[in-house]
Amino acid sequence: MRLSLIIPTRNRPSLLREALRSLLRQTYPFFEAVVVDDGEGEGLEVAQGLGDPRIRALPQPG
């Protein structure tokens, strides 16, 4: 079974980084995470910076 997670974020890159790193430490590998950034784009940078293809990021103009 594949899990899909939607993670909304706005102007909290350090908390997002912590959450995504925690997700990557889980033992269940069959997931995708979609980060939806409603801020200045920091969330996009964090998600892309992790370099994991299971994590995608989309901008959401507020």
Q: Please report whether residue 23 resides in a domain.
A: no
- Whether 20 is in a domain gets the answer no
Quote the pLDDT of residue 8.
97
What integer pLDDT is reported at residue 9 of this predicted model?
A: 96
Sheet holding 31-37, edge to edge: 3-9, 31-37, 55-59
Domain that holds residue 39: 7-13+31-62
Given this model, what pLDDT does residue 61 score?
83
Is 44 domain-assigned?
yes
From first to last of the 62 residues of the chain, give the pLDDT tens digit.
999 999 999 999 999 999 999 999 999 999 999 999 999 999 999 999 999 999 999 999 87
In a domain? residue 1: no
Say if 51 falls within a structural domain.
yes
Question: Is 2 a member of any domain?
Answer: no
How distant, in Å, are the alpha carbons of 24, 34, 61 from that of 52?
9, 12, 24
Instruction: Please tell me the total count of domains within the chain.
Output: 1
pLDDT value at residue 43:
96
Asked if 55 contacts 31 with a C-beta cutoff of 8 angstroms, the reply is no
